[in-house]
């Protein structure tokens, strides 16, 4: 078949075959059986104040008060069974409604609510984070930085 133009096209059969094996670029390729495992964020069980959202440290007193906002921890808002969609706002069979949900009460069904949250804290140990930052030559105080601009 005669063509109008002389350049080679995709239908030409005299092309050399492409090599499928390429040299590895960077790290060597590893055999993979099945899907890759994703990097999942870890979870942590935390207790929080229902009023201010402060994280309560382990070993806190559930009958006490929040150390940040002084909110009563033994109240309906802090309970596992608190649900605004059910009768008397409690999933347990209580005989009468407790009017103040944020006030201290002596309910026998009370259990402190803990939640499972994603652990978004940096992976560095706590001791390393509390250490002072190394001196990088940059002033940390804004006033000192301003004064350093106009030194003679």
- DSSP assignment, residue 90? B
Q: What was the pLDDT predicted at 138?
A: 54
Note down the domain range covering 92.
Answer: 42-117
Q: Count how many domains the chain has.
A: 1
Residue 52: inside a domain: yes
Residues 6 or more apart from 56 whose CB is under 8 A from it? 46, 47, 48, 49, 66, 67, 73
Residue 2: inside a domain: no
What CA–CA distances, in Å, run from 11 to 8, 15, 20?
Answer: 8, 9, 20
Residue 151: inside a domain: no
**How many residues in total does the chain contain?**
152
Characterize 51-71 residue by residue with b for buried, 16 or more Cβ atoms within 10 angstroms of its Cβ, and e for exposed. beeeebeeebeeeeebeeeeb
Q: Is the pTM of this model over 0.85?
A: no
Residue 6: inside a domain: no
Residue 136: inside a domain: no
Residue 59: inside a domain: yes
Give the distance between the most distant pair of CA atoms in the chain. 98
Q: What was the pLDDT predicted at 145?
A: 81
pLDDT tens, position by position, for the chain (152 residues)?
566 766 777 666 665 566 555 555 666 666 667 777 777 778 888 888 888 888 888 888 888 888 888 888 888 888 888 888 888 888 888 888 888 888 888 888 888 888 888 887 765 444 444 445 555 555 567 888 888 888 76
């Amino acid at each position: 078949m005669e063509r109008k133009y002389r350049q080679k096209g995709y239908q030409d059969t005299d092309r050399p075959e492409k090599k499928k094996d390429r040299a590895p670029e960077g790290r060597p390729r590893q055999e993979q059986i099945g899907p890759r495992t994703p990097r999942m964020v870890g979870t942590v069980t935390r207790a929080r104040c229902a009023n201010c959202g402060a994280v309560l440290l382990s070993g806190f007193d559930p009958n006490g008060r929040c150390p940040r906002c002084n909110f009563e921890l033994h109240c309906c808002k802090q309970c596992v069974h608190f649900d605004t969609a059910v009768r008397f706002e409690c999933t347990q069979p209580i005989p009468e409604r407790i009017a103040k949900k944020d006030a201290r009460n002596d309910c026998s069904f009370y259990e402190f609510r803990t939640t499972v949250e994603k652990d978004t804290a940096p992976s560095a140990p706590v001791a390393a984070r509390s250490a002072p930052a190394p001196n990088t030559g940059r002033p940390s105080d804004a006033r000192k930085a301003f004064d350093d601009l106009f030194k003679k």
